[in-house]
């Protein structure tokens, strides 16, 4: 259940995030990595605005779930650096970017949530994204007619929230990059993985059917408890307490309350959308994404089925979490797709 642990373990807010910002190489001539900060409902968020003096398009980058910093690094997978690489790719193509340390990571830290970290849930992350896009839209030289959002995994939920934001001060989102997005409600995704894992254990002889059924029953009861009472059991079998526990239950329940398919259906028609899925990513396989793809048919949708690309957008057919922090470029399959998409 290691991939399931990665998906939700980053929601455990007692774990400090990590940041590799200080190790970044100097940007090429003409581009500046400017340290910035902005307010999100009383929380000061820190990030990097990568830009040059020439006016042009800009993009907001939103990292993976929970405590993941501006570069895509977190305490579970280590210094991944994929969002920094995405920013560098986009600047090579004339697009300014803003990426930021989510609450609990990097310079942002827990801020006003220091004494009550369990109050941080999906709504706090969405508030951060809303503040970020408004800050980006006010930067000198940013062409607000070509303002895009690129997000990975659970970050795609916040990206779609920005695209459907109807507040008077909400910037219009020109295009969306949804990389390996959540395809269903959070706990439904995890439940599917629990079933698959125990079935595989039965097939291999590692568990009896009775043992597997007991694990599934315990997990199903925990999901029902979380959804109806907002609480989690003290213990769960098979390490499942790392996924759902008293410290992260608020964040999990808030995330689970969002239906990505319903959200996708509200994105304005004709919005250019790039959605990626991968045969090597158990968090975002192409068959699992069909419901979301169907909900996006009214947009100017491009679907890219990646081959042998892991969840952090690099070539690795094993999708082993231990490899996520290995220094490797973004998959050429992704950048080839972006080469066309960024022109839309």
Asked if pLDDT for residue 8 goes beyond 80, the answer is no
Structure-block tokens of residue 104: 């609990």
- Consecutive H or E run containing 99: strand 96-100
Name the residue ranges covered by the structural domains of the chain.
11-184+258-341, 187-245
Phi, psi of 188 (to 5 degrees): -65, -40
Contact in structure between 59 and 95 (CB atoms under 8 Å): yes
When pLDDT is averaged across residues 270-281 and rounded to a whole number, the result is 97
Asked if pLDDT for residue 59 goes beyond 90, the answer is yes
Q: Name the pLDDT band for 19 (thresholds 50, 70, 90).
A: very low
Asked if pLDDT for residue 249 goes beyond 80, the answer is yes
Give the residue, 321 or 277, on which the prediction is more confident. 277
Asked if pLDDT for residue 174 goes beyond 90, the answer is yes
Query: What is the reported pLDDT for 30?
Result: 85
Query: What is the reported pLDDT for 29?
Result: 59
Percent of the chain having pLDDT more than 70? 92
Asked if pLDDT for residue 83 goes beyond 80, the answer is yes
- Sheet (strand 43-51) strand order: 32-40, 43-51, 96-100, 56-62, 142-152, 175-179, 272-278, 300-306
- The CATH fold assigned to 11-184+258-341 is Rossmann fold (3.40.50)
Contact in structure between 139 and 237 (CB atoms under 8 Å): no
DSSP states along 251-282: HHHHHHT--HHHHHTTSPTT-EEEEEEETT-T
When pLDDT is averaged across residues 306-329 and rounded to a whole number, the result is 95
Contact in structure between 108 and 63 (CB atoms under 8 Å): no
Reported pTM: 0.87
The whole-angstrom separation of Cα 56 and Cα 58 is: 7
The whole-angstrom separation of Cα 263 and Cα 276 is: 17
- Consecutive H or E run containing 62: strand 56-62
When pLDDT is averaged across residues 329-340 and rounded to a whole number, the result is 98
When pLDDT is averaged across residues 195-210 and rounded to a whole number, the result is 94
**How do 300-306 and 175-179 pair as beta strands?**
unpaired
The whole-angstrom separation of Cα 336 and Cα 342 is: 10
When pLDDT is averaged across residues 159-180 and rounded to a whole number, the result is 97
Contact in structure between 218 and 237 (CB atoms under 8 Å): yes
Q: Name the pLDDT band for 1 (thresholds 50, 70, 90).
A: low
* CB burial of residue 73 (10 Å; 0-12, 13-18, 19+): buried
Nearest to 148 by CA among 138, 128, 133: 133
The whole-angstrom separation of Cα 223 and Cα 217 is: 10
Nearest to 306 by CA among 338, 342, 334: 334
């Amino acid at each position: 259940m290691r991939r399931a642990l990665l998906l939700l373990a980053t929601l455990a807010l007692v774990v400090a995030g990590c940041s590799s910002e200080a190790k970044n190489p100097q940007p090429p001539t003409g581009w500046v990595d400017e340290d910035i900060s902005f307010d999100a409902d009383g929380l000061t968020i820190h990030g990097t605005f990568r830009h040059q003096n020439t006016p042009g398009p800009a993009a907001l980058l939103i990292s993976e779930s929970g405590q993941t910093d501006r570069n895509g690094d977190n305490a579970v997978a280590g210094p991944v650096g994929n969002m920094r690489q995405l920013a560098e790719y986009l600047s090579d193509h004339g697009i300014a970017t803003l990426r930021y340390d989510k609450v609990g990571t990097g310079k942002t830290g827990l801020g006003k949530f220091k004494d009550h970290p369990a109050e941080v849930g999906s709504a706090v992350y969405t508030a951060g994204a809303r503040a970020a896009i408004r800050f980006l839209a006010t930067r000198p030289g940013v062409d607000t007619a070509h303002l895009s959002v690129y997000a990975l995994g659970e970050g795609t939920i916040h990206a779609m929230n920005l695209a459907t934001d109807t507040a008077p001060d909400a910037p219009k989102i020109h295009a969306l990059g949804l990389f390996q997005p959540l395809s269903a409600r959070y706990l439904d995704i995890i439940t599917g993985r629990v079933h698959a894992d125990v079935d595989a254990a039965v097939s291999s002889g590692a568990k009896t059917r009775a043992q597997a059924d007991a694990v599934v029953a315990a997990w199903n009861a925990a999901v029902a408890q979380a959804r109806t009472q907002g609480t989690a059991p003290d213990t769960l079998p098979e390490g499942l307490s790392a996924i759902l526990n008293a410290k992260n239950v608020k964040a999990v329940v808030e995330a689970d309350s969002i239906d990505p398919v319903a959200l996708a259906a509200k994105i304005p028609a004709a919005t250019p959308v790039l959605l990626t899925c991968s045969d090597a990513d158990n968090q975002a396989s192409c068959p699992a994404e069909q419901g979301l793809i169907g909900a996006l048919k009214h947009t100017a949708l491009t679907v890219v089925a990646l081959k042998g690309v892991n969840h952090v957008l690099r070539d690795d057919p094993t999708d082993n979490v231990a490899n996520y922090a290995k220094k490797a470029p973004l998959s050429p399959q992704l950048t080839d797709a972006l080469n066309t998409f960024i022109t839309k």
